[in-house]
Structure 1
Amino acid sequence: MYPDRVLSGMRPTGALHLGHYHGVLKNWIKIQHEFECLFMVADWHALTTHYDSTLGLENHVWEMVVDWLAAGVDPNQATLFIQSRVPEHAELHLLLSMVTPVGWLERVPTYKEQQQKLTDRDLSSYGFLGYPLLQAADILLYRANRVPVGEDQVPHIEFAREVARRFNHFYGREKDFEANALEAARKMGNKRSRLYLELRTRYTERGDAEALLAARDLLAEAQNLSLGDRERLFGYLEGNAKPILAEPQALLTEASRLPGLDGQKMAKSYGNTLPLRLSEEALAHKISTMKTDEARKLRTDPGEPTRCPVYAFHKLYSDEKTLTWVEDGCRTAGIGCVQCKQPIIEQVILELRPLRERAQLYQEDPTLVRNIIADGCERARRLACDTLRDVREAMGLVYS
Structure 2
Amino acid sequence: MSRHLPPTADNALASQLELAFEDNRLAAQLYGDFDQNLALIEQRLAVSATPRGNHVLLKGAASKVDQARRVLESLYANLEEGRSIDIADVDAVIRMIETEDSQLTLPTLERKGKVRMAQIATRKSTIVARTPAQDAYMRAMERSELVFGIGPAGTGKTYLAVAHAASLLERGDINRIILSRPAVEAGERLGFLPGDMKEKVDPYLRPLYDALYDMMKPENVERCITSGIIEVAPLAFMRGRTLSNAVVILDEAQNTTSMQMKMFLTRLGENSKMIVTGDPTQVDLPRGEKSGLVEAVNLLDGVEGVHVSRFGDKDVVRHALVGRIVRAYEQDAMRRLARKEGDTEGLARTLGTLPRS
Q: Normalising by structure 1, report the TM-score.
A: 0.24
Larger fraction in strand: 2
Higher relative contact order (CA 8 A, sep 6+): 1
Structure possessing the higher radius of gyration over alpha carbons: 1
Q: Normalising by structure 2, report the TM-score.
A: 0.26
Larger fraction in helix: 1
